[in-house]
Amino acid sequence: MPRLSVIIPVYNAEETILRCIDSLLNQTLQDMEVIVVDDHGQDDSIKILQNHIAEHPRKNMFRFAKTAVNSGPGPARNIGLQMAQGEYAAFLDSDDWVENEMYSTLYETAIQHSADLCYCRAILENPKKNKQRILSNISVKSGRFSDETKRHFLSNFRSYFWIYIFRREIISKHDITFPEERAAEDIYFLTCNILHAENIACINKAMYHYTYDANSLSHSKNEKRYLDKLSAFRKLLDYAKTHNLYEKYRQELEYIYFKKAYLTATINYVKNVKHPKIKVLREIYHEFLETCPDYTKSKLISSTSRLIAAKLFPRFS
pLDDT of residue 307: 61
- The mean pLDDT of 246-254, rounded to a whole number, is 96
In the predicted structure, residue 132 carries a pLDDT above the cut 70: yes
pLDDT of residue 214: 60
In the predicted structure, residue 313 carries a pLDDT above the cut 60: no
DSSP string, the chain: --SEEEEEEESS-TTTHHHHHHHHHT-S--SEEEEEEE---SSSHHHHHHHHHTT-TTGGGEEEEE-SS---HHHHHHHHHHH--SSEEEE--TT-EE-TTHHHHHHHHHHHTT-SEEEEEEEEEETTTTEEEEEP-----SEE--HHHHHHHHHH----GGGEEEEHHHHHHTT----S-SSSHHHHHHHHHHHH-SEEEEEEEEEEEEEP-TTSTTTS--TTHHHHHHHHHHHHHHHHHHTT-TTTTHHHHHHHIIIIIIIHHHHHHHHH-SS--HHHHHHHHHHHHHH-TTGGG-HHHHHHHHHHHHHH-GGG-
pLDDT of residue 215: 53
The tens digit of pLDDT for each residue in 286-302 reads 999 999 998 888 889 98
The tens digit of pLDDT for each residue in 18-76 reads 999 999 999 999 999 999 999 999 999 999 999 999 999 999 999 999 999 999 999 99
180 touches 71 (CB < 8 A) = yes
Q: How many CB atoms lie within 10 A of CB 296?
A: 9
The tens digit of pLDDT for each residue in 167-202 reads 999 999 999 999 999 999 999 999 999 999 999 999
In the predicted structure, residue 309 carries a pLDDT above the cut 60: no
Task: Supply the pTM of this predicted model.
Answer: 0.93
pLDDT of residue 302: 81
pLDDT of residue 130: 73
The tens digit of pLDDT for each residue in 200-224 reads 999 999 999 999 876 554 544 556 8
What percent of the chain has pLDDT above 70?
Answer: 93
pLDDT of residue 227: 94
Average pLDDT, the chain: 92
- The mean pLDDT of 80-106, rounded to a whole number, is 98
Between residues 312 and 258, the one the model is more confident about: 258
